[in-house]
Amino acid sequence: MNPIEPDEPLSGLRDTEDRPGRLAVGVVGAGRVGPALAAALRLAGHRAVAASGVSDASRRRAEELLPGVPLTPEPRDVLAAADLVLLTVPDDALPDLVSGLAATGAVRPGQLIAHTSGRYGVDVLEPALRAGGLPLALHPVMTFTGTQVDVARLAGCVFGVTAPEQLRPVAEALVVEMGAEPEWVPEEARGLYHAALAHGANHLVTLVGQTVDALRAAGVEEPSRMLGPLLGAALDNALRQGDQALTGPVARGDAGTVREHVAVLRRAAPQTLETYRALARATADRALAARLLKAEAAEELLGALNDATGEGR
């Protein structure tokens, strides 16, 4: 990536509404994320000037979160109006979008070009940098609904931030202005960073979904009422205590109970069995490393998990 001179970063930006440092903000991709971030920046005194989107859902989100802001089908129109451009498109679409905008001359020198992808750092913005743009990666570690509630939820949210060193203060200041907290992520660590978040958040939804299905099969009418306090406490304990929060039959070394679980899941919820086995093995490994589980008990557990019949002996 080409170096940015220390005195360059904000030299090309226009002040808006006669307030130093206030930016004209544009959103490319009026999905769930972009309008919420622009609305938060608007509350901080910046001016939302344009958003791009073509679907009815995009139009509704823009009308709710950015009332009065023009919606255009053309991303280049957004770049023509904005000092800070938020590229809030799906990960797979981002490289071609950046290349296309740079190739058509839509990026102007001194313009802040920020994407919200967790997967990428700033290398993906290299075409915009060559065109004179100032690249930022600002990934909000939160799930979005596309409604006003997202703006409130940004308070205390953490953003994974990657930027050239000279632009780090700018990136972090924008995050703070949205009411969130910046966490620096090196370019080379973005892949691992994103995989970790996806593993935790996305697979948690799968885990909860499988648990709800199994409880319903067991006759529980309102699984969410049962699971809310249990899973909330488990998450809180895990974040506070780490592996010391491990509990249940695996952490206790109750091989007989685990073998019974394998048997009943095979009969009643076979779609959950492999998930249970994989997570139980991982739990045993962590409990063993944390000295919560003895080696001989771990061996018995693995035998129960690998039992081909799932029946007790």
CA distances (Å), origin 175, targets 57, 126, 150, 263: 26, 22, 15, 50
Answer whether residue 19 is part of any domain: no
Beta bridge partners of 143: none
- Per-residue pLDDT at 12 exceeds 70: no
Q: Is the CB of residue 153 less than 8 Å from the CB of residue 126?
A: no
Give CA torsion, residues 218, 237, 194, 161, to 10 deg.
150
pLDDT digits 0-9 by tens, 69-110: 999 999 999 999 999 999 999 999 999 999 999 999 999 999
Q: Name the nearest CA neighbour of 168 among 121, 107, 206.
A: 121
Alpha-carbon distance of 73 to 48, in angstroms, equals: 16
Tell me, what amino acid is at 56? D
Q: Mean per-residue pLDDT for 53-58?
A: 92
Q: What is the pLDDT of residues 250-260, one digit of tens each?
A: 999 999 999 99
Sign of the alpha-carbon torsion through 94, 169, 111, 21: positive
Q: CA angle, 244 as apex, 238 and 246 as ends, to 5°?
A: 70
pTM of the model: 0.86
Please report the pLDDT score of residue 2 as a whole number.
Answer: 44
Claim to verify: residue 111 and residue 227 sit in the same structural domain:
no
Supply the DSSP symbol for 88: -
β partners of residue 190:
none
pLDDT higher than 50, residue 202: yes
Q: What is the pLDDT of residues 265-307, one digit of tens each?
A: 999 999 999 999 999 999 999 999 999 999 999 999 999 999 8
How many structural domains does the chain have?
A: 2
Structure tokens at 300: 């018995």
Comparing CA positions, the residue from 81, 57, 59, 85 lying closest to residue 71 is: 59
213: pLDDT strictly greater than 70: yes
Among 208-212, 214-218, 228-232, 308-312, where is mean pLDDT lowest?
308-312
Paired strand residues for 184? 161
144 in a domain, yes or no?
yes
**Cα separation of 275 and 295, whole Å?**
23
Which residue is associated with the tokens 């739990």?
283
The Cβ of residue 250 has, within 10 Å, a number of other Cβ atoms equal to 28
Average pLDDT over every residue of 9-28: 63
Question: Which pLDDT does position 308 carry in this prediction?
Answer: 56
Average pLDDT over residues 126-135: 98
Report DSSP state, residue 133: -
From 142, 157, 185, the end of a domain falls on 185
Q: What is the model's pLDDT at position 19?
A: 46
| pLDDT given for residue 307 in this prediction | 80
- Average pLDDT of the residues in 13-26: 65
pLDDT at position 311 over 90:
no
Contacts of 154 (CB under 8 A, 6+ apart): 36, 37, 40, 140, 142, 178, 179, 180
Asked if residue 264 has pLDDT above 70, the reply is yes
Residue 144 sits in the same domain as residue 113 = yes
Q: Is the alpha carbon torsion for 281, 285, 290, 292 positive or negative?
A: positive
49 phi, psi to nearest 5 deg = -115, -20
| Average predicted confidence (pLDDT) for the chain | 92
C-alpha torsion sign, points 137, 140, 145, 149 = negative
Domain carrying residue 283? 192-305
Domain ends where: 138, 155, 185?
185
Residues 60 and 117 in one domain: yes
Q: Tell me how crowded residue 246 is: count the other CB atoms within 10 A of its CB.
A: 20
* pLDDT at 10 exceeding the cut of 50: no
Task: Please check whether residues 65 and 153 belong to one and the same domain.
Answer: yes
Rounded CA separation 94/87 (Å):
8
33 and 173 in a single domain? The answer is yes
Whether residue 170 is found in the same domain as residue 217: no
Instruction: Name the nearest CA neighbour of 40 among 79, 66, 13.
Output: 66
Domain-embedded: residue 10:
no
